[in-house]
Structure 1
Amino acid sequence: MKSQCKVAVVQDSSIPFDAIATAKKTCKLAEEAALNGAELVVFPEAFLGTYPKGLNFDAPIGKRLPEGREDFMRYYDGAVDMDGEELRSIEECATQHNIFIVLGIIERGGSTLYCTVVFIDPKKGIVGKRRKLMPTGSERLIWGFGDGSTLDVVDSELGKIGAVICWENYMPALRSAMYAQHVEIYCTPTADDRDTWLSTIQHIAMEGRCYVLSACQYITRDEFSEDYRSVLPDNPDGVMMRGGSAIIGPLGEVIVGPVFNEKTIVYAELDRATLIKSKMDFDPVGHYSRPDVFSISVDKEAKEAVKY
């Protein structure tokens, strides 16, 4: 890791189902972070492509209704391709402002959608992506499953950067796969705005002896269209996600946040020496591990439905 670097976490909202407009907003927020001295900026889960909070896609057990298929069509149209113009514009923004961008997107992979995080290096463009391995609950209806081929931590001039999305962070083996790659800047784009999320990311920072950068949206009902069929309370001023973004140090200390109920960008200075010193008494994949007793196997092969 670079001896010191300034990082930013964005707590803001998508422009639902409008990927072009959200890409422009992403660039403005990244520019703001860069102008404030940040060298890396993290955005929330599904920021580019929309987190469809409150939609059920009319899919009761044993039945799918046509209205839900219309909702899915709208959602699919609002997602992005890895080689699409939205991400190209954000790559250009990263280069122009010399800032590394970690961005939650909804990725089109054929006719399946994936909840994905992309890593955008200011000098190299997109240098990696992480598809969510385990969508949570009803997310499994609308998102495909990632595989081990996207579990890599990304090397950068700032350090080793990884991303684990929302409730994937409750998967101990997945966390270990990150720690084993010596992740230094552990990003947790999320849609979890509950009070309990803070204890989760503090535990991860303490367990992994890494910095944790957690980004969640702040978005209200009136930012969605009037015909948005959320099953949640339909108060126009109602908060759909209240944020809770935070930055945690490698001994579990809260550096900044959690921040609720506002749109903001939070900042922190990261220090390599703090990382090294934190591992004096605990390294989960080093001197505090017991490989003679415990082992984890990670299959990093891409899984294709048909092989030729």
Structure 2
Amino acid sequence: METPLAVNDPSQVAEARRHAALVAQTHGFSEELGAKAALIVTEAATNLIKYGGGGTILTRPYTEIDHTGIEILALDRGPGMGHLDISTQDGHSTSGSLGLGLGGIARVSSSHEIYTGEMLGTAILARLRSDHAVAPAGRPRQWLTVGGMSTPKIGQEACGDAYATRWVGGALWVTTVDGLGHGPQAARAAHEALRIFQEADADATPYDVIRAAHTALKATRGAVMAVAVIRPVLGSFEFAGVGNISTALIKQGELRRLPSTDGTVGYSVRTIREQSYPWEPGSILALSTDGLSTRWNLAGHPGLQRRHPALIAGVLHRDFSRGNDDATIVVVKDEQA
């Protein structure tokens, strides 16, 4: 669960900068990396106020197949930029400033992406790669990238939603869980489901994971849950879901909703139906809780599916969150050419 910081006033820029430095320190990153994160957040937060009418900034650690780092996501619902190539040039400004923000972010970041357009708002993803190595653990070449966003209901500190991924024997496992209701008890149910997911045997199936979670969650208020196991080398994935987790497979621009069965994990599950689907290069799998409108799609966001999954998830979360519930979306994308 992450809590994006609101940046609607110049006084909140300093708060966002201090938070970025704290994230780096808390997760054991170097002072240099923390300073770079603080610089990017300062530039992005200033742009939110100047050009976006305010927005949110999310700073968090990330883990890839061979390294870790810090990820910054800045989102606004402003007018957007019609000429991104011009806007990213140092010296360009529409507010009389020096116009160093986007160019500075690009120079400091290890990688960055921007999604914007006239009347589409602006979303900025910046990543800072650390020197922390991650043991490959027999993983294949990384074709799959993942990004997500999970936020609590406004006014709540605990989030009843959760998502997780893990690599097991050349397959990427992904789950999304929504504990019933809100607050600490919903969060307890979701975290228990994640524990079962993380501890599942390497030869377990989505059916096995949900069945085990159903037993483990009987002492909680229950949850809805979906699990997918993607095998990029074999070109297939297995999926099972119970309850109203919305799961969409996007291939060649076409969106297909995958069916889940009715029920509540830990309370009432009559059937767990696992199905297998083909997985092709360029495929996108997105799982979301009912904190996002079930009508979400990419039709109104031209070019978004070509962006990093973290940026895709951030934009969809921004534009389709209901605002009255915990809200989570996780996106898996196949980057094979």
The TM-score normalised by the length of structure 1 is 0.30
Higher strand share: 2
Structure with larger Rg: 2
